[in-house]
Amino acid sequence: MIHLLTPLTRPHLLPHWFQDLLSAIPRIVCGYLLATNFGSAKFGLPWSPADANLHFFEVAFWFPNDVAHYGGIFAMFPAFFAWIGAFSEAVGGIFLLLGLQTRLFSFLLLLTMLVAIFMQQWENGLWNMLPAMGFCWVALYTTLLGSGRFGIDYLLTKSSK
């Protein structure tokens, strides 16, 4: 089973270590932002003073209501798609930050960001789409290249070459 996952996990290495370092910076920054800001907000965290008068469930479950407004299959299963989106952003952000199973979680983030662009932000204009578009571009290149030398994927697969 491990041999089946190794090609998916093994990152492509650029010719020089500093190229891998430069390509790791957007992966690490986006992983951090996704995990701490964008993904955690969809789980109802962090609790802000502005939310003090609201019931916990009003704060924690705003995202499924937002997803239901997308229509189609999203309206049929809003809680499922909301939690999948929140999971891919929060947990996927942590994995992206660490460079662990980078391709798998980058692909999930790529799909999530495409949904965010076309279903959530399309009508709000380009300016509102920019965060999702930025995360989408980083997820696209990390889906193709993996974590590089500066990720746990490299440490896990360097002895299995």
**Tokens 């279903």 identify what position?**
119
Q: pLDDT at position 73, please?
A: 92
Q: Which pLDDT belongs to residue 44?
A: 59
Whether the per-residue pLDDT at 88 is higher than 80: the answer is: yes
Lookup: tokens for 135: 């995360």
pLDDT of amino acid 43:
72
The alpha carbon dihedral of 145, 147, 152, 158 has a sign of positive
d(CA 110, CA 133): 9
Averaged pLDDT for residues 33-47: 76
Q: Give residue 79's pLDDT band: very low, low, confident or very high (50, 70, 90).
A: confident
How many other CB atoms are found less than 10 A from the CB of residue 36? 16
% pLDDT > 90, the chain: 63
Nearest Cα residue to 34 out of 119, 106, 140, 101: 106
pTM: predicted TM-score of the whole model, two decimal places: 0.84
- What average pLDDT does this structure show over 23-47? 84
- Mean pLDDT over 73-101 rounds to 93
Given a cut of 70, whether residue 95 has pLDDT beyond it is yes
pLDDT digits (tens, 9 = 90+) for 116-130: 999 999 999 999 999
Asked if the model's pLDDT at residue 59 lies above 80, the reply is no
Cβ–Cβ < 8 Å for 153, 97: no
